């Protein structure tokens, strides 16, 4: 048996139990803890289970710190934790391969999801490896762990284009009091605080320490949560009670079609899909909405591009009447070097049934392998195509800027997974009055069986909290909703409807995060990491039982 904390006379029973497990048993426990951590996220939002998962990981790292090659052992445990976490957190990726199974084959979804999970797990391995050289056997290891794992999570959200999916801060239900802290420190700052809180109960198992020293971190964490809850509750209580009369009524609509049904290769396919959207948009003579929003790529490109077919555009104009339509679409531009394709959103202003094309936004952050193939010039010979099978994929547009919406405040459009990236909203004079999120969550699987659409919806709501701006979200196959500036749901399609409608909630004054970004996060990180390097004789160090 490998020796762990059992070598110490003051080892706790918990540490002794972990030390008595075999190498693969400990790795299996790390994997299961990672699975448990996923239950902290949407649609479950069981935050306490996330705390339990992080606590177990720290206890496993305690044992690794007592053994030879502790950095490698810590990295392996972190990787298995990450594998369990992401295998259950992003398994929905497999559903995208079922949409075009004739091209990809239905079996490719499983290895693709496991491969993505294994790659993302490397960041957890990195965080645990960073902490291992400075690990202690007292309370100071807790802030060390939180700081190091946060650094690896920040890297996951930024390197190689970034994939900040299910960050630790998202375990707090959006719209509830604790989530309001994101208006100050953003979801990254909230993630750092969450890791510190989740690490605190690990001190309970510190053998040789007095009861006060063992339970003090948990009590401090509970106090921090209580303070955050109280502050958030006060912020919510100051929410505007009356909506300004000039705010437009917005309707978000979905076709109700699955991804496969949407892309049936019929000669009238675009027209068939259009009828579904017009039905969900309502009769322009009877609808109260002034603005209608359709999801990302609402109309498929089977026979023609929507903007090139005037008859099709005229039909949209008649269906909208005098209303404004904001819709996701695919478009192209002819260039000297060839044709460039874009995943876009357009503002179409209906004037007495005549469509008038306004501003267009081309998606800035594209999904690797979903919308483009990295290093295409090198891999094109292997006949690999992106899941969004339009040419060789889309090209990226310029960073998002606000769009002028007739009879409404300027809006910022975020397409698909752009909504999971904090800080994309312009500041100052360019700050919009509301956010529009258009997405095709049908790629993420059926809402009844796949958690991806629920996770995406929860993360998008955090952008409203951070920026203090309301959001209208149109999600094909997902949750379409109107969300207020605190991340609270005003109206949604969760009851099974194909549309939701509400008056646009008011925007708030620029939040601290909206004005300053992540400026507080580095200072918070330095402070928390600095706790590790306090002298061992101070209160943070473990004392002996008297």
Q: Which residues are catalytic?
A: 296, 363, 416
Structure tokens at 542: 């473990």
Nearest to 525 by CA among 173, 170, 155, 175: 155
Structure tokens at 362: 């081309």
- The DSSP symbol for 511 reads P
Contact between 410 and 429 (Cβ < 8 Å): no
Nearest to 27 by CA among 71, 79, 66: 79
User: Cα(484)–Cα(508) distance, rounded to whole angstroms?
Assistant: 10
User: Cα(208)–Cα(497) distance, rounded to whole angstroms?
Assistant: 59
- At 357, give phi and psi (nearest 5°): -75, 125
Angle at 132 between CA 127 and CA 136, to 5 degrees: 125
357 forms bridges with which residues in the sheet?
A: 348
- At 169, give phi and psi (nearest 5°): -65, -20
- The DSSP symbol for 44 reads T
User: Cα(393)–Cα(178) distance, rounded to whole angstroms?
Assistant: 40
User: Cα(72)–Cα(64) distance, rounded to whole angstroms?
Assistant: 9
User: At a CB cut-off of 8 Å and minimum separation 6, what does 219 contact?
Assistant: none
User: Cα(199)–Cα(207) distance, rounded to whole angstroms?
Assistant: 17
User: Cα(332)–Cα(307) distance, rounded to whole angstroms?
Assistant: 9
Cis geometry, peptide bond prior to residue 43 (ω within 30 degrees of 0): yes
Pairing relationship of beta strands 489-492 and 481-483 according to DSSP bridges:
antiparallel
Give the number of residues written for the chain.
546
User: Cα(527)–Cα(485) distance, rounded to whole angstroms?
Assistant: 30
User: Cα(457)–Cα(282) distance, rounded to whole angstroms?
Assistant: 24
- At 535, give phi and psi (nearest 5°): -60, 140
């Amino acid at each position: 048996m490998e020796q762990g904390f059992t070598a110490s006379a003051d080892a706790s029973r918990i540490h002794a139990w972990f030390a008595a497990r075999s190498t693969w048993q400990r790795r299996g426990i790390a994997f299961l803890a990672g699975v448990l951590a996923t239950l902290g996220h949407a649609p479950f939002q069981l935050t306490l289970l996330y705390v339990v998962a992080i606590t177990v990981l720290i206890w496993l790292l305690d044992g690794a710190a007592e053994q030879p090659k502790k950095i490698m052992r810590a990295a392996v445990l972190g990787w298995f934790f990450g594998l369990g976490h992401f295998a259950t957190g992003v398994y929905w990726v497999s559903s995208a391969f079922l949409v075009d199974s004739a091209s990809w084959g239905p079996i490719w979804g499983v290895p693709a999801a496991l491969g993505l999970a294994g790659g993302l797990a490397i960041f957890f391995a990195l965080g645990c490896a960073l902490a291992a050289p400075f690990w202690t056997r007292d309370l100071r290891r807790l802030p060390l762990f939180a700081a190091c794992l946060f650094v690896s999570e920040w890297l996951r959200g930024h390197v190689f284009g970034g994939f900040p999916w299910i960050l630790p801060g998202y375990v707090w239900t959006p719209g509830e009091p604790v989530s309001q802290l994101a208006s100050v420190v953003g979801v990254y700052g909230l993630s750092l605080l969450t890791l510190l809180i989740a690490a605190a109960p690990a001190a309970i198992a510190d053998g040789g320490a007095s009861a006060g020293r063992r339970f003090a971190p948990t009590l401090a964490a509970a106090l921090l949560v209580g303070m955050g809850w109280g502050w958030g509750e006060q912020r919510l209580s100051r929410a505007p009670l009356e909506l300004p009369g000039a705010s437009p009524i917005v309707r978000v609509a979905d076709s109700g079609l699955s991804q496969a049904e949407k892309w049936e290769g019929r000669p009238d396919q675009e027209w068939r899909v259009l009828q579904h959207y017009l039905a969900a948009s309502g009769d322009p003579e009877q609808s109260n909405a002034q603005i209608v929003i359709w999801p990302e790529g609402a109309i498929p490109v089977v026979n023609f591009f929507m903007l090139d077919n005037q008859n099709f555009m005229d039909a949209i104009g008649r269906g909208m009447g005098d209303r404004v339509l904001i819709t996701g679409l695919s478009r192209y531009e002819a260039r000297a070097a060839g044709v460039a394709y874009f995943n876009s959103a357009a503002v179409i202003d209906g004037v007495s049934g005549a469509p008038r094309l306004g501003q267009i936004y081309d998606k800035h952050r594209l999904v690797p392998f979903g919308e483009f193939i990295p290093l295409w010039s090198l891999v094109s010979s292997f006949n690999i195509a992106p899941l969004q099978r339009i040419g060789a994929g889309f090209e990226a547009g310029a960073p998002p800027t606000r769009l002028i919406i007739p009879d409404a405040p300027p809006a910022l459009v975020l397409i698909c997974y752009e909504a999971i990236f904090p800080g994309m909203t312009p500041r100052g004079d360019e700050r919009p009055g509301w956010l529009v999120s258009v997405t095709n969550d049908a790629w993420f699987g059926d809402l009844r069986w796949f958690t991806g659409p629920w996770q995406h919806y929860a993360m998008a709501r955090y952008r409203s909290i951070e920026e203090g701006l309301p959001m209208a979200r149109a999600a094909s196959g997902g949750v379409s909703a109107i969300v207020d500036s605190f991340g609270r749901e005003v109206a949604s399609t969760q009851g099974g409807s194909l549309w939701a409608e509400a008056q646009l909630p008011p925007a708030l004054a620029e939040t601290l995060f909206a004005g300053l970004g992540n400026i507080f996060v580095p200072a918070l990180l330095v402070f928390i990491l600095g706790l590790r390097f306090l002298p061992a004789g101070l209160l943070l160090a473990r004392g002996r039982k008297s």
